[in-house]
Amino acid sequence: MSGMSWIENLRFADWHQASRFCLLAYILGCFTAGYYLVRWLAEKDIRDIGSGSVGARNVGRVLGKMGFLLTVLFDFGKGAIAVLIARHFTADDRLVGLAMVAVVAGHIWPAQLRFHGGKGMATSLGALLAYDPQLAGTFAVLFLCFCLVLRKLVVPSLLAMGCLPLVGLLLSQTPSRVVMISLLAGLVIVGHRKNLMEEFGHWSARRELDPKPDESRL
């Protein structure tokens, strides 16, 4: 079996157990604290405010710093808890990775909110820290480096997340683990697609406003 590829080894996975882990992790991800905090404290639907996200930044617009902090802590915590629960019941790293991906998917597309949830960054970081602390630390370093260069927050975090699969390869991690990290990064990037479109729009507008160089001086 040692000579088989990781794809061939998927035949030996306990898919009944995998489906249970994924379902439980997805349900946990669906408990979007931001939505319920705003509904309870402000009697509003956070999805109709600001960016429409149930994430911490949008909640902070309504509930202030305390709402922002509570949402971050809850979203981060549920990501970590989903991975820790899976790891408690199985030694199969592939199943733990599936739980990590499922809890983030639940946060981004919660069924009870008609699949209109958050963007997944805090939940993914909590899950990543529990799944692979080394990669979580690498994310922090990359994020700080990109922040120093770009002087922003969202784009550096997405760049850092997008680099993690490559980091996993450089660290000689197992192919299945690299695939799980790639899926995680893909979910977060998809969750931030509106931010990326806005950034691209701003970049295009700046290019149009910048005067073209005088070719006669070249």
Spell out the residues 6+ positions from residue 132 whose beta carbon is closer than 8 angstroms to its own. Answer: 173, 177, 181
Say how many domains are in the chain. Answer: 1
208: pLDDT strictly greater than 70? no
Which residue's structure tokens are 């905090």?
37
Is 60 a domain residue?
A: yes
Tokens read off for 42:
């402000």
Give tens-digit pLDDT for 150-199. 888 888 899 999 999 999 999 888 898 999 999 999 999 998 777 667 66
Is 4 a domain residue?
A: no
| Three-state secondary structure of the chain | CCCCCHHHHHHHCCHHHHHHHHHHHHHHHHCCHHHHHHHHHCCCCHHHCCCCCCCHHHHHHHHHHHHHHHHHHHHHHHHHHHHHHHHHHCCCHHHHHHHHHHHHHHHHCCHHHCCCCCCCHHHHHHHHHHHCHHHHHHHHHHHHHHHHHHCCCHHHHHHHHHHHHHHHHHCCCCHHHHHHHHHHHHHHHHHCHHHHHHHHHHHHHHHHHCCCCCHHHC
Which residue's structure tokens are 């970049």?
203
Is 100 a domain residue?
A: yes
Give tens-digit pLDDT for 39-56. 999 989 998 888 788 888
**CA 67 to centroid of chain Cα atoms:** 20
Which residue's structure tokens are 């370093």?
141
* Res. 202 pLDDT band, cuts 50 70 90: low
Is 1 a domain residue?
A: no
Is 154 a domain residue?
A: yes
Is 2 a domain residue?
A: no
User: What's the pLDDT at 28?
Assistant: 96
Which domain covers residue 21, as residue numbers?
Answer: 14-211
Residue 71: closest CA among 22, 21, 139, 117: 117
Rounded to 5 degrees, what angle do the CA atoms 171, 182, 100 make?
Answer: 100
Of the listed ranges 13-22, 63-72, 112-121, 162-171, the one predicted with least confidence: 13-22
- Quick check: 176 and 97 in contact, CB under 8 A? yes
Is 106 a domain residue?
A: yes
pTM of the entire structure? 0.83
Is 163 a domain residue?
A: yes
